[in-house]
Structure 1
Amino acid sequence: MFPGTSLRPYDAVLLVSFGGPEGPDDVLPFLRRVADGRAIPESRLEEVSRHYLAFGGVSPINSRNRALVSSLRAELDRRGVDTPIVWGNRNWHPFLDEALLGLAGRGARRILMLPTSAYACYSGCRQYREDVEGALRRIGWTPPPVVERTRVYFDSPGFLEANVQAIVESFLRLASAGADLDRIDLALVTHSIPLAMERGSGEPDRPETRYTAQHEALARVLVPEAARRLGLRRIRYGLVFCSRSGPPHAPWLEPDVNEYLGRLAASGAQAVCCAPIGFVSDHMEVVYDLDVEAKATADGLGLSYDRAATAGTHPAFVRSLADLMLERAAVARGEALDAPPASITDIGPWHEECRPGACLEREGDVRVEAGRGRTACTSSGPAA
């Protein structure tokens, strides 16, 4: 779908993730960093800290990112691409500053950023770019490098395949435990965001590109394909949310997954598969909010419960990420793609560079695009 097998003109790939604590002493400092400037009460941070401490104070996200870097490295090696891949976190070690300093030492001048967020909204898209900008300013890299990100990839064939396969396997586990296959409900779970952020997400004046609409577009393809593979006429499903935070008076996307489970039980449902399609890999919002909290809710309601796997390092997903990077490199070289970029939804394909005003923190924000007038998916450091 694109010419060549080279990541030129990029000198390196920067995998950017959220980060997570690696031990009990890290938990509250990590949470305070995440909450900085967000008016989240200390009592809420202490409550969430207990979620981490129940797992030894270790979030699974860092080990999953190490595995993803290893899988991407193997996939690029298989294609004869030797561009280095480094990993940096927004909120914990290895921090973005550390990763970028390492690249500065290698003399990198143009860097391709691959966020571990599949969807477009402020916290899943623009904030990644802004955090890279901030790290570049702090380290004072002069003259500044150019950092350009891949397009969002919720609509990539590999992300679809990984999630379809995970849902099919989950349904089969429930069936083997005694559930009627054609009576299993599906909860498609993603991270809740404030309604103001939802209204500012996606592209300006295109409501069909908003955060929830992206998930719904994926669901319109994903659910029928899972049903087909299971030999079912249809699967009853809903898009639900988890992990809301922030001040209680601020409205966030609903329904919460636990509320939705209550609705299912009240409707006479027998079994439910929770599929975390809003998450690229396991982290605390998955292993606590779904594996502990939602499962306890389901058990209390008498619902058979199973949680589908995240995309993680599924081979098809890793291949799609490699395709995405090579596609972006071809565009950066000014080469014409020999076919339209891959997209499995009726929204896509997403733009290689986000349009000005995309993915605002809240509807109506006025933003000056950073990085010498570049678009929201492109970053550069401070002027030389």
Structure 2
Amino acid sequence: MSDREVLMVTIQVHRPGTIDWLGLSTPDREGSALFYSDLLDWGIVRYETGAGPFLTAEVRGRDAAGILQPQPTIGDMTLPATWTVFIRVDDLEESLLLLSDLGGRIIERPREIPELGRSAVVADPSGAVFSLAAFHPDFGLAVRDEPGALTWCDLLTRDPVTAVAFYTSLFGWEADRDETTGYTMFRLDGAPVAGMMAMPAEVPEEAPSHWLPYFGVADCEKSARRLEELGGTINHGPQRIGIGSFAIAEDPFGASFAILEHVDPTIGRRSTLNSDVLPKVRMHLELESEGESVTATAVLDGFGEPFHASGSAAQSRDRDPARPNLAAELAVVRALSDLHHQILERVHERIDRSMGDI
């Protein structure tokens, strides 16, 4: 009879230039936590840090957002309750210099978030507030495109032309504008990262340009009703569009956000949220021990067709007490080496095809 155990590990690679965290600035952390926990079925985890308590929202045990201390200020003015998108960068100081050169503003200088990394609150030339984040490699959104989690972000701006120049220069995004609708899709290496639209004419002039996060829900109409029962406000919708139904709302403390129910347009019914809406690279690693053998199986997603690889190693009867899991380590190394060779082969194939077209 074989002794068999399976360990599942999921690793997410957090890419610079992507929206990789959400932070809610609110005058009432506990009240906000109760509202979103009910609406989006969040679990709330409290961490004590050197900067005070930090609340993390989880979707089925995976980090989905942070609920932050009171709102940032500009001079003597406190910004209203708001959702802030955090865009990951490699070098925070260099990005801040470039942002300033492009006409952006630094609202809060870089600060250390204990055990997570560093971030700075900034604004684009039209006033839309967001954060630049140089987080630790293993920190960021751990869940997307599921009910309760971030599924999209739109920039609503009063100056689309300047916004395109700003974001494409700052993050290397490409801008793809639909001339029929006026909607712009921002892409990074061809993968969608966010959208942009001109501020609708009916929005009051005093409303600033802003980023709007969309959270996935299973039933938009039902969630909209519950949102109002909890003290929130629906400002638009629910409205049906090609990919489903959405509504734009405010929480009880004035922070704007949207809810989005995805529908498969080919069959007209609810679908799982599109896992490719936001760019990500994920590796699923499975370790299986059976008898004297350990096998590691890896699947790497995020580059189109997934890569599959495996590696094995034999358990030694005379294990080194200092490295009791040596066989598992060797199996993983061999699987990752196999992945590496496959990626190189695909790169060479694309180079050969490109050279053949010249």
TM-score of the aligned structures, taking structure 2 as reference length? 0.26
Of structures 1 and 2, the one with the larger relative CO (CA 8 A, separation 6+) is: 1
* Bigger proportion of residues as strand: 2
* Bigger proportion of residues as helix: 1
**Quick check: which has more Rg, 1 or 2?**
2
